[in-house]
Every structure is written in structure tokens, then in C-alpha cells.
Amino acid sequence: MSLKIVRKYCLEYCCLDQAHEVRLCPSGDCVLWPLRFGKNPENRTISSLKAIREKCLDCSEGRVHVVSCPHIECVLYPYRFGKRPTTVDRIKKRMSDVGDVAI
């Protein structure tokens, strides 16, 4: 699923919904560039979730700003922590359940 999100990001935010522009993308230094087709490249060195995390860190200029990212409309937003959104939700729930325990 995260590979499809990368593809969608490349199409919508970088290539103005022009699929042929994704192929011609000159941004070879972008961490998402090897994943832009929504497929696993043979020589992949980073997972798609970690690549999304790196892109978000680059965009927001640091960890603190990733947490408080104002770009909720971005397709990468739910994946900005480098985890699937369902995993983040489970962690948040577990943390809130621990906080509710009376000692």
C-alpha cells in the first residue's frame, strides 16, 4: 500500500497528474525517486515506509516538525512516522490505555 501512496504523491504533487512526467522525473536525488512507479525496484536500499519518513523529514526540516506537520492534505501525511497508519493508531491507543490505569 505504501508504494501506491508514493506513486500517488509523485503524480499529484510533483508531476501535476501527468503519468508520463513521472517517468521523466529529473529529481534523482529525491528519496522517493526509485519508488515513483509504485513498484519495488530491484536495487532498493530502503523500505517505502522509511523513504516516506525521510521525505517528510526533508520537507519539514526535522523530527519535531514532522509530528506537528500542518500538511494534513498530503497523501504522505498518515505515513509520516515511517509506519503504517494502523500501527500508529495501535501505539496511540496502547499509550492512552496505559495512561488510564489507576495506581
How large is the average pLDDT for residues 78-91?
86
Asked whether 81 and 66 are in contact (CB, 8 A), the reply is: yes
Per-residue pLDDT band at 103 (split at 50, 70, 90): very low
Q: Whole-angstrom Cα distance, residue 24 to residue 40? A: 18
pLDDT in tens, 43-80: 878 899 999 999 999 999 888 889 899 999 999 999 99
Host domain of residue 32: 2-99
Residue 96: per-residue pLDDT? 78
Asked whether 50 and 82 are in contact (CB, 8 A), the reply is: yes
Residue 91: per-residue pLDDT? 79
Evaluate if residue 3 carries a pLDDT over 70.
yes
Number of domains in the chain: 1
Asked whether 9 and 32 are in contact (CB, 8 A), the reply is: yes
